[in-house]
Amino acid sequence: MDNAKNALGATIAPSMTSSFSNLHLAEPLARAVADMGYESMTPIQAQAIPVVLTGKDVMGAAQTGTGKTAAFSLPLLQRLMRHENASASPARHPVRALVLLPTRELADQVAQQIALYAKHTKLRSTVVFGGMDMKPQTIELKKGVEVLVATPGRLLDHIEAKNVVLNQVEYVVLDEADRMLDIGFLPDLQRILSYLPKSRTTLLFSATFSPEIKRLASSYLQDPVTIEVARPNETASTVEQRFYKVTDDDKRYAIRSVLKERDIRQAFIFSNSKLGCARLTRALERDGLRAAALHGDKSQDERLKALEAFKAGEVDLLVCTDVAARGLDIKDVPAVFNYDVPFNAEDYVHRIGRTGRAGASGLAVTLVTDHDSRLVADIEKLTKKKIEVEPAPMSDFRAARQSRGGDDYRPRREREYDGVARGAHAHRPSRMAPRAANTDPFFDRPYEAKGAAEAAAWDSQRAAPVKTPGIKPKRKIAALFKAPVAAS
């Protein structure tokens, strides 16, 4: 089968899925599914939707990218249809379903999907997460909503401020539960769950069923049906995985060489820490590459801006931490770089799942230093694939660096610059797709390569002039020779 599995073991191939019409969803929901263009159910949907429709608790091993959101939200909305009403009174719209997620981006993304599935119904939904003003969220909550999507901390703020009452909740979804525990949300979750009616349906989704997750499930789920479609140790056959031996100093050269040699236009680069992520982004920018950082210390506004810039093709490299990137449904990015080998082998599988999805080929490059052998062995063990660590392709960057040797007395920063002008593409027109209300088309569309006519920033070196030995350039050479650069 051609497009059998994506990196998470999910299959969106029609041959392995079944039709939505078998579910006999209410007409407004069936219409919304048709509007989305879904032809058939993904495996998690085929398994989970009939179970959730019965009202049973579910413990699901599935990750973002598998169609998990529809797997819980469609049956949940179906069950809530009996409460649908057009009354303006908030009292007629109490929270009936609560969906908890670990990060703002994920909460936003899931809320957008739920709004799309519910758009032809009178059921209301909203999202609350931290890092944003509480007031607009409070106004929405006070109007009344049937489905509330939230991150735990901000939800507790609203509960304490008495902006929301949860005593009529019938459904609670703990999504990306393993990540919520990793982040330390357990006490918050326990508090939130204590506010909910005992008689309810609880759905828990997690990438793994670790002992902690099992403990959480045994405390809060009743007789759950276990559904497992995603094997967290599976990597897609469509992803070419490379492990390159580097020193810390060579990591950026290696990335640039790969981008250039493979003619890759956009990529995700993963770093193990927020600080590392910020530093790397700055360094890449200094190198003349168009990079943006996505990590937990960035404000919500900054994160959304970084995503928008990546979507618009104004940024080529999105430098992320695992937590910030987890769950972002950005499909088929041509390449993923592990600037740092992840501490947790499962994160390796998640990271490289960003590329080579649904049959598209992708490249996953992991940069390995002398200190990383244990982490690489962990990945080998988890993926059950022999890993060969090869010499990194350093193409002309290393050659340039070595040949410059002694006669290059420019400061290191300038030496690494290599003629790639910062903001060299600042004159590119914005290709921001028009946004429909309440939906972000970026999340629904596969990755699209930017216009072939435009050179990637790392490619602009081709156009860079030959430097005369012994002459120390005072200004960035590429900037002198390139097309006019708009002031930025």
Residues in touch with ligand AMP (CB under 6 A): 12, 38, 41-42, 45, 64-70, 329, 443-444
| 16 versus 304: smaller Cβ distance to ligand AMP | 16
| Contact between 237 and 5 (Cβ < 8 Å) | yes
Q: What's CA 463's distance to the chain center, in Å?
A: 34
| Contact between 215 and 362 (Cβ < 8 Å) | no
| 187 versus 446: smaller Cβ distance to ligand AMP | 446
Local structure of residue 344 (DSSP, 8 states)? S
Instruction: List Cβ neighbours of 427 (8 Å cut-off, separation of 6 or more).
Output: 483, 484, 485, 486
| 34 versus 377: smaller Cβ distance to ligand AMP | 34
| Contact between 190 and 216 (Cβ < 8 Å) | no
| 78 versus 163: smaller Cβ distance to ligand AMP | 78
| 149 versus 193: smaller Cβ distance to ligand AMP | 149
Give the pairing type, strands 267-270 and 225-228. unpaired
**In whole angstroms, how close is the CB of 66 to ligand AMP at the nearest point?**
5
| 255 versus 349: smaller Cβ distance to ligand AMP | 349
**In whole angstroms, how close is the CB of 329 to ligand AMP at the nearest point?**
5
**3-state class of 252 per DSSP?**
helix
**In whole angstroms, how close is the CB of 73 to ligand AMP at the nearest point?**
8
**In whole angstroms, how close is the CB of 331 to ligand AMP at the nearest point?**
7
**In whole angstroms, how close is the CB of 125 to ligand AMP at the nearest point?**
15
| 228 versus 414: smaller Cβ distance to ligand AMP | 228
**In whole angstroms, how close is the CB of 151 to ligand AMP at the nearest point?**
16
Which one-letter amino acid corresponds to residue 253? Y
Please list the residues that pair with 389 across neighbouring strands. 243
**In whole angstroms, how close is the CB of 12 to ligand AMP at the nearest point?**
5
CB burial class (10 A; 0-12, 13-18, 19+) of residue 192?
buried
CA–CA gap between residue 71 and residue 50 (Å, rounded): 9
CA–CA gap between residue 201 and residue 405 (Å, rounded): 67
State the greatest distance between any 2 C-alpha atoms of the chain, in Å, as a whole number. Answer: 80
Phi, psi of 374 (to 5 degrees): -65, -40
